[in-house]
Amino acid sequence: MSSPLPPLILVSADIRELDSYRWHAAIDTYVRAIMQAGGLPVIVPALGEAMDIASLIARADGVLVTGSRTNVHPAVYGEDPTIAHQPYDHDRDSTTLPLIRGALDQNKALLAICRGHQELNVAMGGTLATDIHTEDDRFNHLGPEATAPVEERFANRHEVKLQPGGELANILQADTLLVNSVHKQAIARLGDGLTIEATADDGTIEAISVTDARSFALGVQWHPEYWASQTTDADPPSTALFDAFVSAARGEESGRT
C-alpha cells in the first residue's frame, strides 16, 4: 500500500538581482522547515498578475509567506513612501498579497512570517509602522547587524505574551514564548478580521490570526523557520508551529479552537 503524498506547500519568492540576472529566490531555512514537518515545498515565482494564482492555490494544500529584507510598498496601504520605508520588491507585493487572499478564499492553510506577517495585515486592510526602534516606547527589534553570524542573528532574544485561549496558545500550549527579532517594521493599524495572538512587552503585535478562517491562518513577526529547519529539539515551539501548519495542510487537526 502506497504512502499518502506529502502536502504541497507554496512558498513565496523574492526578486533578487545578481550577476545581471533577476532571480526568484526563497531562503533555504523556509523550505527545509517545511520538509522537516513533512511537507513538500514549491517556490512560487514573483510574477504577479502574469500567473493564474487562484488555479495555483487550488492545486496546493498550504501557503507559506516568508520573511525578506524588503518591505511592502506603503502605497499599497495608502501611505506616502519615504526613504525609511525602503527597500521594496514590487514584484513580490503583486504576488504575495493575492496569494494570501487566495489562500483564505480557498480555505488553505496559511503561515505568514516576518514580512509575510506584515503582508497578511496589509492584505486585510491594515497598515504598517516603519523604523519602530526610533519610537520612545519601543525597544530595538532590529537584532544584530546583518553581517553577524547567522546563529547570533536568529538567536531568541525577547519574550512575547500569548493571548490566553488563542489559536497560538492552543497550538503551543504556552502563555509566553522566547523569540528572535529581526525587523524594523511592525503592524500599526490591525487589519479587518484579524485577532492579536501575541504581543511584546512594548506593545508590538508579534502574532495574529484570521478570526473566521476555516483552516490554519497565522502570522508571526519572528523567525521560527530558523529553528524548525534544524533538529526537532532545537526549539520545540518553532517545530510545533510548523508541525501544526503542515498537519493542517494535510487536512488534519488545524489547531483552531
**How many whole angstroms separate alpha carbon 162 and alpha carbon 177?**
7
Q: Which amino acid is at 40?
A: L
Residue 57: what are its φ and ψ, rounded to 5°? -65, -35
Concerning whether 223 is annotated as a catalytic residue, the answer is yes
Selecting among 73, 85, 117, 223, the annotated active-site residue is 223
The H or E element spanning position 65 is strand 62-65
What is the SS3 string spanning 172-234?
HCCCEEEECCCCCCEECCCCCCEEEEEEECCCCEEEEEECCCCCCEEEECCCHHHHHCCCCCC
Residue 223: what are its φ and ψ, rounded to 5°? -120, 80
Contacts of 3 (CB under 8 A, 6+ apart): none
User: Which cell goes with 64?
Assistant: 507559506
Concerning whether 79 is annotated as a catalytic residue, the answer is no
Selecting among 119, 197, 206, 225, the annotated active-site residue is 225
Selecting among 85, 114, 117, 119, the annotated active-site residue is 114
Residues acting as catalytic residues: 114, 223, 225
